[in-house]
Structure 1
Amino acid sequence: MDYIAHIREQDKTIQTVEAHLREVKEYSERRGRKIGVKHLAGIAGWLHDFGKNTNEFYNYIQQAAANPHAPPKRGSVDHSTAGGRFIYRRYHAGSTKGLDKATAEWIANCIISHHGGLRDFVSAEQTSPFMKRVVETELKEYEQAEREFLSLVPVEELDRYFASAAAEVNHLLGIVKQHKLSEITPSLLIKYMFSCLIDADRTSTRIFEEGTGPEQPIEQAAFFGRAYDALQQHLHKLETGKNADHPINRLRREMSRQCEEFAFKPSGIYTLSIPTGGGKTLASLRYALKHAIEHGKERIIYIVPYTTIIEQNADEIRQIIKEDDMILEHHSNVIDEDKKDRAADTYVSSDRDEMEDEAYDFHRKKLKLARDNWDRPIIFTTMVQFLNTFYAKGTRNVRRLHQLSNAVIIFDEVQSVPIHCISLFNSALNFLHILGNSSLLLCTATQPALDFVKHGLRLSEQPEMIGNLAEVGKSFKRVEIVDRTTPLGWKADQLGEFVLERMDEVNSTLIILNTKTAARKLYDELHEHDGLGKGGFKLFHLSTNMCAAHRKAVLKQMREALEAEERVVCVSTQLIEAGVDISFECVVRSLAGLDSIAQAAGRCNRHGKDALRQVYIIKSADESLKQLKEIQCGADQTTRLLAEFKVQPELYGHDLLSAAAVKQYFEYYFAQMKDEMQYRIKRLDQNLFQLLGANRYYLDAYKNKHGKLPGVITPAALATAEQHFEAISNRAIAVLVPYDAAAKKLIADLNGELNGELDIRKLGDLLKQSQQYVVNIYDHDRRKLEKNGDLYPLLHGHVLALREPAYNEFFGVESEGEGVWQDAVL
């Protein structure tokens, strides 16, 4: 009898369990081989749908295919436990070897979790959800599943394969010990295995569902060669073009040259501390392409703090390389699972059974298979998405983790790592370098000394790419910092008057504030002067309430006005201060961390057109930073530094933006925030490092309750850690907005899925296109929009869209008629 893994919706063709398992095994091996977990990932793929070899599942899937609009109850047949139970019984329960037990646990957890999230080995409830699943869960036809699988696979072959997997665990743990990597590294290895399995399973199913046959692999080496040649041609044009002999441009070329020379060094963790405006994007790309060619890397990934930088940098690189299909922008996840989806896609750490998610609800199945897996040679994404691949719950994010190995990963403005994630971030980078064979480049003019904190970063020897940084900094000095802070701060009307005074002296001013509310108040204050009379100016506004396409259009209009030497004022939240190539004659920055002030200064006199220009630091009375602890702490430490600078400016070379000043700032800041760096969870009185590591607190609690240990070698509370992880604490949901005609058509096309008009490939394309029309809405605003009837569902509630009246052509999403927004950092 041919047991069925999947039935194609289009023509009812079947994919047998045997064929699916062999294919997923092969795909998992391919993904795992890169870091030495070929057999660990492969055996998980080989056994993940072991439980589909039963009459019960055969009948279930036939009924589901025959009744797509009224399928059997989800979870009525458990197919993912059986493979994990087999591994546990054969290689754990009867073994006395700790290595075999640990290997079996890693593999079995991936198998039983492949339709949800990884299980806790020991949980907060003094139980072992892992052991409960592999030992206690009732499986009616388990013996049949085992018998059918072993009729096709000789047990000796499986034993040899498992022995190879155990040898991989032994080797990897030896490397962890040798390099004294953090205690959470075994958990990261399990997550990597899980990533290989999830992506292999989804890929196999998608290819079968599309009926198109295996996709041809991308020839990365050939592409990187073409891209490098295109970049060299572009750089040659710059070297022979207008203003090529300007001292700033000559210095940019020299730093770019040093980056290419550095590319011949072996994989490592390096720093690129080019001053703001120093040509960091092209210099880092030059390094990355050359390094990828010389060392056989598969992918170049840019990690940036804000989506604005994605838009600008990706456009710049596309224009040079001219192969758009090879470059992917991943801003955020368009799909937001509703409560039912989250219940099925995420395992909550408790004794209750998981709801199985075979997804024979065909709408859900299409969405799952269409989700992006970062398969392009060049990726642009955000710091939040990077952290989510390692630490977020469920299967959607971790699916991409294996793509981060054997890659060149460039962290633009690396000082933007959320403070509570620093230890997790450092551990992830150490993992990717030492075990993942990736090269990592930390780019910023204000390096945050991540190697000096607890669980520090393992920088390579002599990591800085640019020589003589002190002299370079002096050559790039284009601004002076002017402290205009007052204890009570400036109200919008006072700040408005100050801006108008500056506009009597200059033709362009940029004001950067910490909250959307303060920015809106100042915009309204300045609006009456917009374009009026001789002293008038063009007034612009930017915030993350505007979708990426909207912000891109505003930035284009603003650049054109500045290049035409028109009078311009821009009021923005901090999205503009990092990585956006734009230059104003004057910048006003609301009090924040010195690193933010330095980034804001990079938008002033950016190309050295004038000798020196002013960057004013003010304190806004319209900002509430009570819920923005990191910004408040940064502002406090900057205030401390400003006071010291007034008394002893020579300590900092008479420059508030000097390397000495930045170093002192981060020492002050990290000292104040040291208790936050390991992602403390107040409700549990634990931190994520403890949960993903030795998990001693819950192990002791288990022993006290049961009088014995739970019988597992691996202690981590993986599910509990994932449930409490958020890179940005204020959770937001993605909403598609009707910004322009293209966005409205996209929404209409997605709505067509309600009638079953879209295939998986078309749906995947539409979801990628949707990235530029997404705004992340916080709960406060979501509730207001829902109350006003301004949100409506697409794709059976998996995507939310905004009605046209709630999107303003100047400000973006309006949660109320008067545009009242929640104070929130980007």
Structure 2
Amino acid sequence: MEYIAHIRESDQVIQTVAEHLLETRQLAEAFGDKIGIRHITGLAGMLHDLGKYTEEFQHYIRLAVQNPDNPPKRGSVDHSTAGGKLLYKLFHIQPQGAFDQQDFMNKALLSEVVGNAIISHHAYLQDFLDPTLESKFLDRVRDRELEGFDHAVSLFYEQVMEKSAFFRYVNQAGTELAHYMKREDKTDIELKMMFLSKFVFSALIDADRTNTRCFEENNAKNEKNSNAPMNRQQLFQTYYERLMERINDLQSGENADTTINLLRKQMSEQCEQFADKPSGILTLSIPTGGGKTLASLRYALKHAVTFEKKHIIYVVPFTTIIEQNAQEVREIIRDDANLLEHHSNVVMNEVEDIDGEDHELEDVVVNTHQKLKLAKDNWDSPIIFTTMVQFLNVFYADGSRNIRRLHNLSESVIIFDEVQKVPTHCISLFNQALNFLKTYASSSIVLCTATQPELDFVHNKLDIEPDTEMVHDLDHVIEKFKRVEIVDKATDDTLDTEKLADFVEQILADESSILVILNTKAVVKNLYHRLTEGNGTIPVYHLSTSMCPAHRNRILEEVKQHLEHKKPVVCISTQLIEAGVDISFDCVIRSLAGMDSIAQAAGRCNRHGRDGTKQVYVIDHEEEDLKRLKEIKIGKEITRKMFIDLKRDETCYGGNVLSAQAMEIYFKKYYTELETDLNYFIPQLRRNMTELLSANRRENTYYRSYYDEKGTILPLFLANCYKTAAEHFQVIEDHTTAIIVPYGDGDKEGKEIIADLNGQQSIEDLTSLLRRAQQFTINIFHYEKKQLDQNKALVSFLDGKILALTEGAYHDSYGLNLENDSPHGGFFI
């Protein structure tokens, strides 16, 4: 009998279970090689679909294919438990008599780590022990009876790997686990196992879906060599040569000998010198306007060539920075095909398994859901631009979509642009992820910002060595880059929208370009409306996350054109413009916020220092509602006190509110104020996320409660809550939904993407379409989605997995319009 894993939609060709398991194993081994665990990940790949060797499943898949309009009930056959159950039975139950205790522990841990990945490959890693003191893991691998299990195991030994060879393979995996655990660092075993579990799960998910996609597309190419070192090295060498052409042109240009340009050259050369040093965690504290993008790329490309890295990944706080920096890098490397911009997840969260049951129907029949699942990107591109939200989601968010990318963070150069924007409640989780990437995944990490946060001041410290700052003599560099004066108006009085509008108009008498940065979208929109009343001649522009990336790009390009030609212009923006956007105004007005935000806002004023000293006014906007913006509110109060200190004593903080000393003091006060939030506290459970993920047995309150309640110890080495932690994880406090908007050049492109979603696409075409859609997507909060629903402003596509706005719900000037009544608006004062 031919045992079927998949049946191709186009020609009904069969992929056998043996073919799928062996091909998935091969891919998984290649992914595991990155951190020295090829047999561990290969074991997961080889066993994940063991349950497809049952008569029950074979009947199920044939019935599903023969009756596409009336398929069998989803989840009515369990195929993903069998592989985990086999490992548990063979290696977790303590043998009788004499045995090697250490070998037993290694094999038992192996069965837990790999078994969890296998039973979860249609969902997310299960809890070993959950808050109700139940173990979904044991429910599956120990307690669940599986019809035809013994016969499936016999077929596995017959068709996939002979029994003695399988045991030798497991022994090799056990040796890898022992080596992994012995690596020198201060990490507890539970934390090590948590990251190992997630890496194995990532490798399995990507290997399984990649093999399935290749089969479905009838693609004979096995993608195991897609990350071949020589290919990447040649590519990065070519990019490096093209970058040096650009740098040499700049350094021989008309203004190359100015003080700032000479400093830029010096700092760029210092970055290259660091590229020859072994991988680790570095800081790059180039002041705003110091050529950070080119300098960090110079380090990354040279380091990638020298140490055979596979990816260069830029992680930024806002999508605005992705758009600008990605375009700058794209122009340098002249290779659009190998640069991926990943802004957000266009597809709505996939429906995962319920109570550990499988969605086999979606695994064997390539329907809309399966195409979307296979089309999602795994970050295998050589150069990737993504956001901090997406980076943290890879490690900690629920569902298989995000974690699939984790293994591609290894053997990489990862540059965190504007790292001070790491959300405070995620700092410990962020530090732990970076420590893993440095110690186990051979990745080199650059913390890049003009305002370095004190990430080693928190309890879960960043494992950063001394003398890792790339820029020499920072205080001297900061002084030389000083080109603005910070004017404190915030401690004198507050301003409402009307008074602020008057202040803007007053400054326009002396300065031709003004940038106003406020803390909330509501006051930005109100000020925009106030300044655009009437029919003036000075253009006013609005920027916020209510606008899609393509829209913001167009606005920024128009603003830059006005600035370049010295024409009057006003831009009103949320904080998205203050980090990493290469733009320079004559004057900046910044609503009071954290000192790092003040410094970043100052970087948008007189950026190249050509006009002497210009003013950055700090005001206090009385109409901003910061009740739900705790971090901004606390940063604002610390900054206010520091301004008051300077008023009393001009020598405070080295006499400069933007000095390195001032920033260090600010961040220490800020993290002290937010100390209870740093480990991601979950109010519903009264637990920290770090405890759920990695608490050892002595500190694990659920483990102790299990013993107290049941009178016996939990029969597992691991007792952590991977699934529960993931379900409670949100980088942004309120869940958002990605919506495609009808915006584009000539009002066509966004509309065209929405129209194309109605058609039938191959997996490849759908992947391309979803990537294009990134530029025409915004993220909306739950209350906004509810209001749009009420106003009939949403349409859904692909079985409700993708949402789009109607035309009336998107405004040409400021984006999202919840009322769904957008006209074409003007923008002049």
Query: One fold, TM greater than 0.5?
Result: yes
TM range (shorter): over 0.9
> CA–CA distance in 1 between the matches of 2:792 and 2:556?
31
Aligned 8 A contact 1:25 1:43 in 2: yes
Q: Quick one: which amino acid aligns to residue 337 of structure 2?
A: D
Equivalent positions of 1:206-221 (< 5 A) are 206-214=213-221, 215=223, 217=226, 219-221=231-233
Comparing 609-618 with 401-410, which one deviates more in the overlay? 609-618
Equivalent positions of 1:621-636 (< 5 A) are 621-636=622-637
Q: 1:106 aligns with which of 109, 113, 133?
A: 113
> CA–CA distance in 1 between the matches of 2:313 and 2:55?
45
In the alignment, which residue of structure 1 is the partner of 2:27? 27
> CA–CA distance in 1 between the matches of 2:655 and 2:511?
25
Aligned 8 A contact 2:428 2:679 in 1: yes
TM-score, normalised to structure 1's length? Answer: 0.95
Q: Quick one: which amino acid aligns to residue 217 of structure 1?
A: S
CA deviation vs aligned residue, 1:559-618 (integer Å, no higher than 9, x gap): 001111110111100110000000001101111110011111100000111111111111
Question: Is the alpha carbon distance of 1:818 and 1:505 closer, same or farther for their aligned partners in structure 2, counting shifts above 3 Å?
Answer: farther
In the alignment, which residue of structure 1 is the partner of 2:265? 253
Q: 1:280 aligns with which of 277, 292, 300?
A: 292
Q: Quick one: which amino acid aligns to residue 766 of structure 2?
A: L
Equivalent positions of 1:329-728 (< 5 A) are 329-337=341-349, 341-342=350-351, 345=352, 352-359=355-362, 360=365, 362-486=367-491, 489-528=494-533, 532=536, 536-694=537-695, 696-728=700-732
Aligned 8 A contact 1:297 1:408 in 2: yes
Gapped regions of structure 1 (runs ≥ 5): 820-826
Q: Quick one: which amino acid aligns to residue 635 of structure 2?
A: G
Is 1:763 aligned to 2:766, yes or no?
A: yes
> CA–CA distance in 2 between the matches of 1:786 and 1:619?
35
Aligned 8 A contact 1:260 1:290 in 2: yes
> CA–CA distance in 2 between the matches of 1:181 and 1:648?
47
Question: Is the alpha carbon distance of 1:353 and 1:369 closer, same or farther for their aligned partners in structure 2, counting shifts above 3 Å?
Answer: closer
Equivalent position SS for 2:112: helix
Q: Quick one: which amino acid aligns to residue 196 of structure 2?
A: L
Q: Quick one: which amino acid aligns to residue 715 of structure 1?
A: A
Deviation of residue 529 (structure 1)?
A: 6.1
CA deviation vs aligned residue, 1:640-681 (integer Å, no higher than 9, x gap): 111111122313222110011111100110100011000000
In the alignment, which residue of structure 1 is the partner of 2:199? 192
> CA–CA distance in 1 between the matches of 2:775 and 2:524?
23
Aligned 8 A contact 1:185 1:427 in 2: no
Is 1:813 aligned to 2:828, yes or no?
A: no
In the alignment, which residue of structure 1 is the partner of 2:825? none
Q: Quick one: which amino acid aligns to residue 213 of structure 2?
A: R
Is 1:225 aligned to 2:237, yes or no?
A: yes
In the alignment, which residue of structure 2 is the partner of 1:268? 280
Equivalent position SS for 1:758: coil
> CA–CA distance in 2 between the matches of 1:577 and 1:87?
52
> CA–CA distance in 2 between the matches of 1:714 and 1:28?
23
Task: Provide the alpha-carbon RMSD of the alignment.
Answer: 1.5
Comparing 700-709 with 108-117, which one deviates more in the overlay? 700-709
> CA–CA distance in 2 between the matches of 1:99 and 1:318?
47
> CA–CA distance in 1 between the matches of 2:820 and 2:80?
50
In the alignment, which residue of structure 2 is the partner of 1:241? 253
Percent of pairs with identical residues: 48
> CA–CA distance in 2 between the matches of 1:76 and 1:487?
68
Is 1:163 aligned to 2:171, yes or no?
A: yes
Aligned 8 A contact 1:84 1:112 in 2: yes
Question: Is the alpha carbon distance of 1:663 and 1:181 closer, same or farther for their aligned partners in structure 2, counting shifts above 3 Å?
Answer: farther
Question: Is the alpha carbon distance of 1:182 and 1:499 closer, same or farther for their aligned partners in structure 2, counting shifts above 3 Å?
Answer: farther
Deviation of residue 818 (structure 1)?
A: 7.5
Aligned 8 A contact 1:68 1:362 in 2: no
CA deviation vs aligned residue, 1:112-143 (integer Å, no higher than 9, x gap): 00010000001101111100111122311212
Comparing 358-367 with 488-497, which one deviates more in the overlay? 358-367
Deviation of residue 291 (structure 1)?
A: 0.2
TM-score, normalised to structure 2's length? Answer: 0.95
CA deviation vs aligned residue, 1:399-444 (integer Å, no higher than 9, x gap): 0000000100000000000000000000000000000100000001
Equivalent positions of 1:87-126 (< 5 A) are 87-95=87-95, 97-126=104-133
Q: Quick one: which amino acid aligns to residue 780 of structure 1?
A: Y
Is 1:777 aligned to 2:780, yes or no?
A: yes
Q: Quick one: which amino acid aligns to residue 477 of structure 1?
A: K
> CA–CA distance in 1 between the matches of 2:353 and 2:517?
39
Question: Is the alpha carbon distance of 1:114 and 1:735 closer, same or farther for their aligned partners in structure 2, counting shifts above 3 Å?
Answer: same
Question: Is the alpha carbon distance of 1:481 and 1:380 closer, same or farther for their aligned partners in structure 2, counting shifts above 3 Å?
Answer: same
> CA–CA distance in 2 between the matches of 1:718 and 1:166?
22
> CA–CA distance in 2 between the matches of 1:356 and 1:735?
26
Deviation of residue 181 (structure 1)?
A: 6.0
In the alignment, which residue of structure 2 is the partner of 1:149? 156
> CA–CA distance in 2 between the matches of 1:651 and 1:743?
52
> CA–CA distance in 2 between the matches of 1:817 and 1:103?
55
Aligned 8 A contact 1:181 1:430 in 2: no
CA deviation vs aligned residue, 1:709-746 (integer Å, no higher than 9, x gap): 22000111110110100111111100000002011111
Moved over 6 A (4+): none
Deviation of residue 520 (structure 1)?
A: 0.7
In the alignment, which residue of structure 2 is the partner of 1:822? none
CA deviation vs aligned residue, 1:256-278 (integer Å, no higher than 9, x gap): 01111110000010000000000
> CA–CA distance in 2 between the matches of 1:231 and 1:45?
40
Equivalent positions of 1:33-44 (< 5 A) are 33-44=33-44
In the alignment, which residue of structure 1 is the partner of 2:98? none
Q: Quick one: which amino acid aligns to residue 232 of structure 1?
A: M
> CA–CA distance in 2 between the matches of 1:505 and 1:330?
41
> CA–CA distance in 2 between the matches of 1:489 and 1:733?
35
Deviation of residue 689 (structure 1)?
A: 0.5
> CA–CA distance in 2 between the matches of 1:571 and 1:381?
25
Is 1:751 aligned to 2:758, yes or no?
A: yes
> CA–CA distance in 2 between the matches of 1:474 and 1:588?
22
Q: 1:729 aligns with which of 733, 756, 777?
A: 733
Equivalent position SS for 1:797: coil
> CA–CA distance in 1 between the matches of 2:480 and 2:232?
38
Question: Is the alpha carbon distance of 1:21 and 1:182 closer, same or farther for their aligned partners in structure 2, counting shifts above 3 Å?
Answer: closer
Q: Quick one: which amino acid aligns to residue 39 of structure 1?
A: H
The number of residues matched between the two structures is 802
Aligned 8 A contact 2:77 2:358 in 1: no
